[in-house]
Amino acid sequence: MEKLIIEGGRPLEGRIRVSGSKNAALPILMASLAVDGPVTYTNVPNLRDINTTLRLLELLGCATTFENGVVTVTPGTLVPEAPYELVKTMRASVLCLGPLLARLCEARVSLPGGCAIGSRPVDLHIKALEKMGATFDLDAGYIYGKCDGLHGAHIQFDFPTVGGTENLLMAAALAEGETVLINAAREPEVVDLANFLIACGAKISGHGTSIITIEGVKRLSGCEYRIMPDRIEAGTYLCAAAITDGEIFLEDCPVFELEAVIAKLREMGVYIEEREGGVLARRNGGGIHGVDVVTLPFPGFPTDMQAQLMALMCLAKGSGMIKETIFENRFMHVQELKRMGASITLDGRSAMVRGVAGLIGAPVMASDLRASASLVLAGLAAEGTTEVQRIYHLDRGYENIEQKLEAVGARIRREQE
Which residues contribute to the annotated binding site?
A: 22-23, 91, 120-124, 304, 326
Q: Other CB atoms closer than 10 Å to residue 150's CB: what's the count?
A: 26
**Phi/psi of residue 239, nearest 5 degrees:** -65, -35
**How large is the greatest C-alpha to C-alpha distance in the chain, in angstroms?**
65
Active site (annotated) includes residue 115: yes
- Of 62, 96, 105, 115, which one is the catalytic site residue? 115
- Report the C-alpha gap between 189 and 182 in whole angstroms: 17
Is 12 in contact with 381 (CB distance < 8 Å)? no
Is 32 in contact with 56 (CB distance < 8 Å)? no
Across-strand partners of 414?
Answer: 4
Contacts for 41 with CB less than 8 Å, ≥ 6 apart: 25, 28, 29, 70, 71, 72, 73, 224, 225, 226, 227
Contacts for 224 with CB less than 8 Å, ≥ 6 apart: 39, 40, 41, 42
Binding residues for UDP-N-acetyl-alpha-D-glucosamine: 91, 120-124, 304, 326
310 φ/ψ sector (left φ>0, alpha ψ -120 to 50, else beta): alpha
Nearest C-alpha neighbor of 377 from the set 229, 238, 284, 259: 238
Measured over the CA atoms of residue 60, residue 63, residue 67 and residue 72, the dihedral's sign is: negative
Across-strand partners of 296?
Answer: none
Q: Other CB atoms closer than 10 Å to residue 317's CB: what's the count?
A: 12
Measured distance between the N- and C-terminal CA atoms of the chain, rounded to whole angstroms: 6
Residues acting as catalytic residues: 115
